[in-house]
Structure 1
């Protein structure tokens, strides 16, 4: 069968599992490498920004220090003395001085000098009266009166971001107003210097240091107010700005505008200003494009190679399962479908159930062959190991056990006896017993293996074993059995001899009293003085012929004739012995209703050399045994025909079973099971199931009766189980089968029980 692996769910599952084994660690490693790369890059960028921000802080602090130094110099500059500024002639030097101070610092837009309670204010552009100053410069939310008050009362440096509108330019711009008292650090300053710094100049200063930085930068004063803002993207909310102004120095990760950001904060030790930069974290991932591209290519290559390896490993793992599926398909009519493991498991369960059902009968067949042929070559140790049969003891013998005309109430007890005597052990007697069912319902053969250390105690030990078995059976069925015991041999190859001897003793026992035991050993120890052959040997010969066992019959004949030759008997005595042998053989043939056997014993039958006489007797024995086998086969076939007819008539009876049929025809269940399969081709249970299945199919098609009634009418009481087996057998439920084949088109499929 050509199997397409890619159509197998199990093969795909194996492939998927191998891919998972490969890809899960691979993905984890790649994610780890990628995250590690981005983390390292983030740390590098953050450290770089931290250094740049520190540089910005240093530059800005330096510029602000310059402004403070400038205010100090201005306080001591004679050109800017109050009396000289008031002088119309020298005021031009003051304006030039202010202009030179303004030129020395690039971030300063304007410088204003104010003396407390002076009606004028002086700048690098000239002198303004306070009224003109108020009308020319508008500081947004900072009212001019408040500004003048701050100029008059300022004792400490202060800075403030505001919107300024200059009437001359009519442009509104953000400026920082930085007011320093003069003399600086004096408790009683006499004036103030006000620097106007364009906020964009400070932003340009920040950008020049950060370069192509793609984030936001804030400068906060020591009160948390924004002094400068620079960068790209949406500004932070007021709440986020408040949070940023309160951050301690260092590197932080914060959600800004619902997006994770890397935030770096630096605080000046000079003026307490805070410098903060924030950058979206996803920018770090976009900064590792080269690493990401390399990782993606590496992942694709490894995934392709891993897929090929996974397919190879999956095929190697699936191949034995595919072989099992192919083998299983050859052994069953149901094709594999769905999960192959489930199919194999189900099939093995079915085989196991069949084996469990047939094992007792197969075991009994092996033991029957052992009784007939001894330990033959075909009986390998593996066969005995399969059925847990062990004949490793030193001695072996066979005993026959039977009951005459068991009443119906004892049949169940007989089955119990057969079941429990299938294997029995007597540790105290060092004996093991294997029960063998015979074709006769009321007879049972027992193979006994015992371990003997002293030959002198053999007879006593055999008696003890036989008595123990008798007592054991009396505990189950209160009727004394008839027992015949064969001789004990050291080799299992002579078990067929012991069996014939046990049958001979049993036959002799049937003709006398009931309920006692006959030992063939004791029969052979008594001699009939009228003949030269022991009666036990003649009885054994007759029994072997009746059973069709040519091997045992031939051995007895050869032993008897060779014994006469070795003892050098007279010709008359030899002829008398030969007549005894011939008489026993012909008598057995007559009892077997073989009246034509005389033609195989012509007048010259016992004339000639010894070897010719042996051949003649063996030929006659072979002819009798052959006819016995043929007669048995005919009777067997005739009996099986009757049994099949009986089953065909009674298969709707739910109580029909192997045991009930065997009881009805007075044969053992084991013999019935084996012979029925030889006759029909399938076993007993399968035959009944097929009959019931065919009947249910017929009833489903021609009637509209409820499913449960149909199933019970054919003798099957477990309706749900029948439905499951029906679907397994046909592929459809009974309801579906009826809908497809029924003569009643309105019938709906209904499998409800």
Structure 2
């Protein structure tokens, strides 16, 4: 069923936009017809501006009076006496009180309380030393020493002109500072309340009253200084501004400014002596028009009819892709079909933007885990063909070098200072560059907390051989780690390959080198090729083949194990050894498989081997038998890993069920509690539970909040804090989005007497 476009406000807005564009000539000609009414129109506008300025004056005066009343209440508030503010026990209440006063006025950006001769200043966010305050809140034209002098000496309410304020974050905002001595109207005040007010708060207030206005708006203090400067058009020169403000009287007048005639409207406040001024170019009241009324009328009808048809076609062309995107966003966000008809008429662009922001936040959150998962799969299966251009761009991976190898980096758990240091180490190795060696690397989290993988790609230099080049890269990695961390790594290095599909072999070789390293001392580096060197027994199966076979079985990598068995049997086929010696050599393969099976806990595999398997079978049959044994071991390893993962996930779920009310609970803390890498926990948790870690915790907290809302009358804020959620407003928004009700409405459905007073306050 096609949607009814005319029910969409956005679609109608497109039509009116196109009509407006097409009707501009008609509007220009209409202005000419009413040339005689221009003077009347000007008078009406000026009178209207005068009334609006008067309204602006009344509203702003009321806001200033409200600030004075707040200062008066502060001066009599027992929580904000010098004794309570300086007392460490009650200072928290004082800061909370300031925050409450701040929230009573919408124009206050920040509120500060200062007691004369004190070395600290207090705000709704905490207390600061004066030197810290003046460095954090830096005014461009109000120096720190003058600011402190004004805070100590001000005797009557004083508004500072709008000034540029630099914040610690680097942001700059234009603000006004309003100083009110406390106690108000006292000849000897003991302190000062200072409000910081964004200039935009007052300008937006003025704009909301004046409406669509092209001109200049000023607020002047009782001495003629400009407090607020709101510009919609050209600015006045400093000479014109000084001449105007020095001789300005309330009412409506015309003056020549910047070489043009301007209409000036001003009113003065009786309360504080401020003057409100609007300045409008007189040319705004006149426009070029045509002479023939009949032609205007005819053109009006032609433009309306043709314009309406063109606007309809163009609006439909423009709205159709937006409509499709809205339907897609609704389908992906789980919108109900019954609501789709009503939702189609409202906020299409907002819904598309929200969907894009939601997807973007999910991608940003999951990208490190997805990248690590992808690299882990490359180490396990060596599937370089899965590295599509889209994935390369998304994960910022560049395997465009000629040679590749894998390093396994480990360290003593006693050396590691905690999860933050491990996270910093992972960030250091996530993407590492060595331009002088034409090499770069990508770090990979392994399931063990005390090990990391590092995939290295490099271009082989013509001036050095492969092994020496690899040694230089390994030494550069070690040096880079030693410069940043107080730990000495142990490193296993796999063989270098030119084919990216062989990364899984290099990884298994690196694991073998790490496991079989000769020295267990800190800083030892073990190369797989050196471990497998057998100069005197070239006719035997090479040690590197047996090592890789053993390690591939331990890793459950059947592809690599099958390749090792096939290459060993193939070399025996092409050898000129006797049949008896060939069969004896085959025992190396069988012994390696059986020994590895025994190390993995499979002690019954020996009984599955027929006594005459090697002597009575052909090499082809022997290869099939060995492959069957390898497949059985790899399958068993996979099953054991799955069982172990399921057991660990069960433990993690039980741990979360017992600790989800802890606001410090996170993926990293759980990972280090169980000695597993965070990426491994995230991936395994999602695979086993069907939802990610954060979603599960949110679900547990939601269930508990819903239970507490049904069974208790505790305040909503206390309930949310109890379940470990610190951001109450955000929780309420998510609660309503998920359930369709606010927490107060949800409680009311399950309470016979209606909502409690506490919940009404929370709402």
- Short-chain TM bin: 0.5 to 0.7
Return the match for 2:487 from 471, 479, 482: 479
Q: CA–CA distance in 1 between the matches of 2:641 and 2:548?
A: 20
Aligned to 2:318: 317
> What displacement does 1:455 show?
7.2
Change (3 A) 1:542 1:511: farther
Return the match for 1:633 from 642, 645, 665: 642
Name the SS for the 1:401 alignment partner: strand
Deviations 1:368-416 (A, max 9, x none): 1111121343332322222110000111100001123246733321111
> What displacement does 1:531 show?
8.0
Residue range with higher mean Cα deviation, 388-397 or 8-17: 8-17
Aligned to 1:347: 355
Deviations 1:130-176 (A, max 9, x none): xxxxxxxxxxxxxxxxxxxxxxxxxxxxxxxxxxxxxxxxxxxxxxx
Q: CA–CA distance in 2 between the matches of 1:468 and 1:355?
A: 33
Q: CA–CA distance in 2 between the matches of 1:676 and 1:694?
A: 20
Q: CA–CA distance in 2 between the matches of 1:626 and 1:575?
A: 27
CA RMSD of aligned residues (A): 2.6
Aligned to 2:5: 5
Return the match for 2:473 from 450, 465, 470: 465
Q: Retained in 1: the 8 A contact 2:22–2:303?
A: no
Are 1:429 and 2:430 an aligned pair? no
Q: CA–CA distance in 1 between the matches of 2:379 and 2:416?
A: 29
Return the match for 1:663 from 656, 659, 672: 672
Residue range with higher mean Cα deviation, 12-21 or 359-368: 12-21
Q: TM-score, normalised by structure 1?
A: 0.63
> What displacement does 1:358 show?
0.3
Aligned to 1:690: 699
Residue range with higher mean Cα deviation, 689-698 or 328-337: 328-337
- Tell me how many residue pairs correspond in the alignment: 502
Q: CA–CA distance in 2 between the matches of 1:587 and 1:384?
A: 41
> What displacement does 1:17 show?
1.1
Deviations 1:532-559 (A, max 9, x none): 1222321111000011111111111111
Are 1:703 and 2:712 an aligned pair? yes
Alignment of 1:233-244 (within 5 A): none
Change (3 A) 1:751 1:444: farther
Name the SS for the 1:603 alignment partner: coil
Aligned to 1:25: 25
Q: Retained in 1: the 8 A contact 2:490–2:524?
A: yes
Deviations 1:313-367 (A, max 9, x none): 1111111111111111221135674311111111211111111110000000110
Q: CA–CA distance in 2 between the matches of 1:17 and 1:350?
A: 30
Q: Retained in 1: the 8 A contact 2:404–2:456?
A: yes
> What displacement does 1:295 show?
4.5
Change (3 A) 1:602 1:2: farther
Change (3 A) 1:510 1:345: farther
Change (3 A) 1:296 1:37: farther
Name the SS for the 1:666 alignment partner: coil
Name the SS for the 2:23 alignment partner: helix
Aligned to 2:544: 536
Q: CA–CA distance in 1 between the matches of 2:537 and 2:576?
A: 18
Q: Retained in 1: the 8 A contact 2:532–2:542?
A: yes
Q: CA–CA distance in 2 between the matches of 1:349 and 1:605?
A: 63
Alignment of 1:548-697 (within 5 A): 548-598=556-606, 600-606=608-614, 607-697=616-706
Name the SS for the 1:310 alignment partner: helix
Q: CA–CA distance in 2 between the matches of 1:293 and 1:699?
A: 75
Q: Retained in 2: the 8 A contact 1:700–1:742?
A: no
> What displacement does 1:439 show?
1.1
> What displacement does 1:746 show?
4.8
Aligned to 2:377: 369
Q: CA–CA distance in 1 between the matches of 2:636 and 2:518?
A: 25
Q: Retained in 2: the 8 A contact 1:733–1:751?
A: no
Aligned to 2:449: 441
Return the match for 2:760 from 744, 750, 753: 750
Residue range with higher mean Cα deviation, 292-301 or 390-399: 292-301
Deviations 1:665-696 (A, max 9, x none): 11111111111111111111111112112211
> What displacement does 1:664 show?
0.9
Residue range with higher mean Cα deviation, 690-699 or 549-558: 690-699
> What displacement does 1:460 show?
1.8
Q: CA–CA distance in 2 between the matches of 1:528 and 1:588?
A: 25
> What displacement does 1:730 show?
2.8
Are 1:719 and 2:718 an aligned pair? no
Q: CA–CA distance in 1 between the matches of 2:589 and 2:546?
A: 7
Deviations 1:200-253 (A, max 9, x none): xxxxxxxxxxxxxxxxxxxxxxxxxxxxxxxxxxxxxxxxxxxxxxxxxxxxxx
> What displacement does 1:29 show?
4.1
Q: Retained in 2: the 8 A contact 1:482–1:509?
A: no
Q: Retained in 1: the 8 A contact 2:443–2:454?
A: yes
Return the match for 1:738 from 730, 744, 747: 747
Q: Retained in 2: the 8 A contact 1:14–1:314?
A: yes
Return the match for 2:462 from 451, 454, 457: 454
> What displacement does 1:292 show?
4.9
5+ unaligned residues in a row in structure 2: which ranges? Answer: 38-288
Change (3 A) 1:730 1:475: farther
Deviations 1:96-117 (A, max 9, x none): xxxxxxxxxxxxxxxxxxxxxx
Aligned to 1:304: 305
Change (3 A) 1:472 1:458: same
Q: CA–CA distance in 1 between the matches of 2:585 and 2:465?
A: 34
Q: CA–CA distance in 2 between the matches of 1:3 and 1:597?
A: 67
Name the SS for the 2:604 alignment partner: helix
Alignment of 1:80-159 (within 5 A): none
Aligned to 2:278: none
Q: CA–CA distance in 2 between the matches of 1:561 and 1:596?
A: 25
Q: TM-score, normalised by structure 2?
A: 0.62
Change (3 A) 1:325 1:406: farther
Aligned to 2:530: 522
Q: CA–CA distance in 2 between the matches of 1:321 and 1:419?
A: 40
Name the SS for the 1:750 alignment partner: helix
Change (3 A) 1:490 1:530: closer
Q: CA–CA distance in 2 between the matches of 1:437 and 1:403?
A: 14
Q: CA–CA distance in 1 between the matches of 2:747 and 2:601?
A: 56
Residue range with higher mean Cα deviation, 736-745 or 672-681: 736-745
Greater radius of gyration (CA): 1
Q: Retained in 1: the 8 A contact 2:384–2:500?
A: no
Deviations 1:414-439 (A, max 9, x none): 11101221111111221101000011
Q: Retained in 2: the 8 A contact 1:374–1:495?
A: yes
Q: CA–CA distance in 1 between the matches of 2:363 and 2:327?
A: 21
Q: CA–CA distance in 2 between the matches of 1:586 and 1:25?
A: 92
Q: Retained in 1: the 8 A contact 2:416–2:422?
A: no
Deviations 1:696-753 (A, max 9, x none): 1221222111111111100011222222322333333323332334354252543649
Change (3 A) 1:612 1:381: farther
